[in-house]
Structure formats: C-alpha cells, structure tokens
Structure 1
Amino acid sequence: MEFHYRKACLADADGIAAVHVESWQSTYRGIVSDRYLASLSVEEKKVKWERILSEDHHTIVSTTKDGVVVGFASVGKERSGEYEGELYAIYLVKEYQGKGIGRELFSRSISSLKALGYHDMFIWVLRENASKTFYYSYKPEIVKEETIIIGDERYVEEGLLLSL
C-alpha cells in the first residue's frame, strides 16, 4: 500500500481528530479507564486541531493514496523551556501500525526540528504504554518523570530526550 506525507492543512483537522481519538482508544485500552476513553470526542479534537492548523505549526500527516489521514505527528518548541524541540504528538490508526509509517513520521519530525535549528527532541510517554519501545529504539535518555491525571486516575509519564 502506498502512503503520502505532507504538511497538514486546515482541511485535515477532521481526519487528524479521528486518528487522535481512535489511536488513544486502541493504544490506551487497558491502561486508561474505559469511561475516559469512551468520553473522547472527535468533534472536540477537531476544534483543537482547527485551532492548531490555523496557526504556524509543524504537523505532518500520512495519508492513503485516496487522501484518508491514517497518521500524524506534530512537533515544535519544547513547552517548559528546558530543552529545544518537542514531539507533541504522534499517532497512527491501529490497522496501519507496523508498516513503517510511524518511523517515517518520526524521521520527518526530526527533520522539521533540525530545520528550526533545534538539536534535541523531548518526548513524554506514559510508562504503561507498550508502544514506548518505538521511542526507546532511538536510544533516548530518560530525563524526567511526572505524575499526571487522566480522567480520575494518576499515571506516570517518562520524559525522554533524544539528541538530533
């Protein structure tokens, strides 16, 4: 199957929102409460993504040849100011995982951060997320740990730093 990669545009907000919700519901099932996952709304995410895509952004989408969004990655300036770049999000529809799309989105994210003059990429990942092995394959350093609340429950996030 052939996939295309490009900078996201405002018209992609709905597709990105759908991928965002579906991937959360599949990736975090058994980790995050079913009640919280069921409460996720494509409409709410669409509003968020319309705002992001209306501003200066570094969001890349992967689409099928028919233009259906199957994955995306978003990067930019690290939010705390401690590091340079940050991977804000990278999500793929479950049925498209394992096809190299994530690696390509990640590679393009690194290129985007390098083009901005950044020399590192900070990444937050839930400790219980089995998919974190993807990030560990790039040999990041664990530089932080933080407890966050999702729904009504506490989770530990690991802060990873990757030199670019």
Structure 2
Amino acid sequence: MKIRPAVVADADALAEVHVLGWQAAYRGMMPQEYLDGLSVADRADGWRNWLTTIQPPQAILVLDPGVAGFVTVGADDEEPGVGRVYAIYVRPGSWGQGRGQALMAAGVRQLALPGLGFSEATLWVLEANVRARRFYEAAGWFADGGMLVDESRGFPLEEIRYRRRL
C-alpha cells in the first residue's frame, strides 16, 4: 500500500470516497434523506478548493492505487499545540483489509513530525459509531470525556472526543 500527499488531480476521487464513506458508515446514524442527497460533484469542488489552499501543518494523505482512502490531519483548532485527525475514510468495499490502519498510522506519523511540535492528537467521532470507535481504540486512541452536539446539518449529531499521545 502506497500512501502519498494528495494533489488537486485527486479531488474527484477524494469526493467519491468521502460521499461513499459517509453513506456507508453513517447509515442509521443520520437521516437517510441527507445521506442520499450527498453529491460527489459538490464535494469535488470543495476538495479542489482545499487542495489549492492547504498549508502546513494541515495535510491530506491518500492511499493508492486509485485513492482507495484518505486521512486529513492538522492542528486542533481548540487546543494549541495539539494535532487533530479531521477525517479518515476508506472506500466501503475495502473495509477490513488494513487500509484504514495504514492511513491512520500515516496520519499519526505526519502529526508526530518534529517540526510541528505536537505531542498528542485528538479526533471527534459520532458516539453511535461503534465500528469507528473500536477502530480508533485498537489504534491506541481513548475517549477523553469531551462531548459535543453538532447541529450544523439541521439535525443533532452527538460526538465524543478521542485522544492519544504521539
């Protein structure tokens, strides 16, 4: 498995992985109408925009071949000196094959680069997403008691924060 930095040419594939990942991972946790309405074209525009403006310490790493998955990392907006895994998704047909583990390891290595100064990292996960929580715990993350309710999409999503040392 080859992991590399994302480039603008990856935008369409990133959008597809993102949408398919949401539709598979969040089925039953979000309104189905919302999931069905997700648009690869809309997400691709967002990805192109982000890929042309991204600056360290943010990084988007993709798993080849064919952008089989991605991880996005950077600084935690809420805690100075702490890194964050913002998103990690693998094409649903590839789940359970170690691709997510490889991406998570690459994301953690990226956050642990000496020049960034991060000694720990956080991530947020839907409280109801038991599969993802097991995945994070197996990778050395632990729930640290942080909780929030995200209503930015028009419905409440209860999230919990995970943390780990780098």
For residue 70 of structure 2, what is the aligned residue in structure 1? 72
How far the C-alpha of 1:63 sits from its partner, in A, is 1.6
Runs of 4+ in 1 over 3 A off after TM superposition: none
Instruction: Report sequence identity in percent.
Output: 30
Unaligned runs of 5+ in 1: none
How far the C-alpha of 1:43 sits from its partner, in A, is 1.3
29 and 83 in structure 1: CA distance in 2 versus 1, 3 angstrom threshold: farther
2: distance between equivalents of 1:72 and 1:145?
Answer: 25
Spell out the pairing of 1:72-151 with structure 2 (5 A cutoff): 72-82=70-80, 84-115=82-113, 116-130=116-130, 131-137=132-138, 138-149=140-151, 151=153
1: distance between equivalents of 2:141 and 2:45?
Answer: 35
How far the C-alpha of 1:36 sits from its partner, in A, is 0.6
2: distance between equivalents of 1:121 and 1:159?
Answer: 10
Structure with the larger strand share: 1
1: distance between equivalents of 2:51 and 2:101?
Answer: 22
TM-score (norm. length: structure 2): 0.90
For residue 13 of structure 1, what is the aligned residue in structure 2? 11
30 and 158 in structure 1: CA distance in 2 versus 1, 3 angstrom threshold: same
75 and 27 in structure 1: CA distance in 2 versus 1, 3 angstrom threshold: same
2: distance between equivalents of 1:70 and 1:26?
Answer: 15
1: distance between equivalents of 2:111 and 2:154?
Answer: 34
TM-score (norm. length: structure 1): 0.91
Count of matched residue positions in the alignment of Structure 1 and Structure 2:
159
Unaligned runs of 5+ in 2: none
When structure 1 is superposed on structure 2, of 117-126 and 141-150 the one drifting more is: 141-150
For residue 158 of structure 2, what is the aligned residue in structure 1? 156
| Contact 2:145/2:161, CA 8 A, preserved across alignment | yes
For residue 62 of structure 2, what is the aligned residue in structure 1? 61
Deviation track 1:6-62 (CA, whole Å, cap 9, x = no partner) reads: 111110111001000000000001110111101111111111111221122411101
| Contact 2:143/2:160, CA 8 A, preserved across alignment | no
Amino acid of the structure 2 residue aligned with 1:149: E
